[in-house]
Amino acid sequence: MSKGSGRLALLLSGRGSNLGAFLRAQQTGQLQGSVEAVISNRPDAAGLKIARDAGIATATVDHTLYESREAFDEVLAQKIDGFEPDVIVLAGFMRILTANFVDRFRGRLINIHPSLLPKYRGLNTHQRALDAGECEGGATVHFVTADLDEGPGILQTPVPIEDGDTAASLANRVLPFEHQLYPHAANLVLTGQVSLSKRGAVWNDEILPPGGQIWKPNCQ
């Protein structure tokens, strides 16, 4: 598997579909870095097997063994530090992180959210977009801050809403775009093209809009 200069650690809780997208991007040379570690809060997460099969180091920090979020986050942070990643990718990691954890990795911690932020933070994003009569949904990659889904956007990709769409059909159509968007956005952070400042996300010295730069894959 080809490797770039940047080191990624992925945090996941489930099936690992975003991990699969990163590994495909790495194999094709589209990812300008390498996935060095996959860490899960669930010992039975399917994504751990994907990582092991790909020869990637794995670790588990079982959240059920800790009495507080703070205690869990401290152990998780220590585990991450052991792998010395340049960027930490939340890839379906189903835990709300404490402010201390987020501050520790400020500017290196990114997440993907299934809406065009700043619209529809939180859950049930696709249904809420449909209920509001939106003409498009999409996904946004953003820096993680202490406020849920409110970190500055890096890239976002719009996906048209079609007649008869349900939340499930829209989610299924957005997912392949997420899988292209996420490694592309990670590249921008890995290579230093995009960074986090007090004013927001910065791309080549220019402050990005709150939701980030609009990006469309070549196949769209």
Q: How far apart are CA 169 and CA 165, in angstroms?
A: 6
Contact between 10 and 39 under an 8 Å Cβ cutoff? The reply is: yes
Give the pLDDT of residue 3.
42
Give the pLDDT of residue 189.
97
Contact between 187 and 33 under an 8 Å Cβ cutoff? The reply is: yes
- What digits encode the pLDDT tens for the residues 79-123? 999 999 999 999 999 999 999 999 999 999 999 999 999 999 999
* DSSP letters spanning 21-44: HHHHHHHTT-SSEEEEEEEES-TT
Q: How far apart are the first and last CA of the chain?
A: 27
Q: How far apart are CA 45 and CA 50, in angstroms?
A: 10
Q: What is the CATH number of the domain that holds 43?
A: 3.40.50.170
Does 173 lie in the same domain as 79?
no
Does 35 lie in the same domain as 21?
yes
Domain assignment present for residue 220? The answer is no
- What digits encode the pLDDT tens for the residues 56-80? 999 999 999 999 999 999 999 999 9
Res 219 pLDDT > 90 = no
The residue among 44, 75, 105 that closes a domain is 105
172 lies in which domain range? 111-215
Give the pLDDT of residue 149.
85
The residue among 55, 88, 105 that closes a domain is 105
- What digits encode the pLDDT tens for the residues 121-158? 999 999 999 999 999 999 999 999 998 889 999 999 99
- 142 labelled catalytic: no
The residue among 105, 133, 152 that closes a domain is 105
Which one of 113, 126, 142, 179 is the catalytic residue? 113
Contact between 45 and 13 under an 8 Å Cβ cutoff? The reply is: yes
- What digits encode the pLDDT tens for the residues 177-189? 999 999 999 999 9
Give the pLDDT of residue 216.
85
3-state helix vs strand vs coil in the chain, percent to 5: 35, 25, 40
The count of structural domains within the chain is 2
Give the pLDDT of residue 1.
34
Does 11 lie in the same domain as 36?
yes
Give the pLDDT of residue 147.
87
Give the pLDDT of residue 4.
46
Does 34 lie in the same domain as 6?
yes
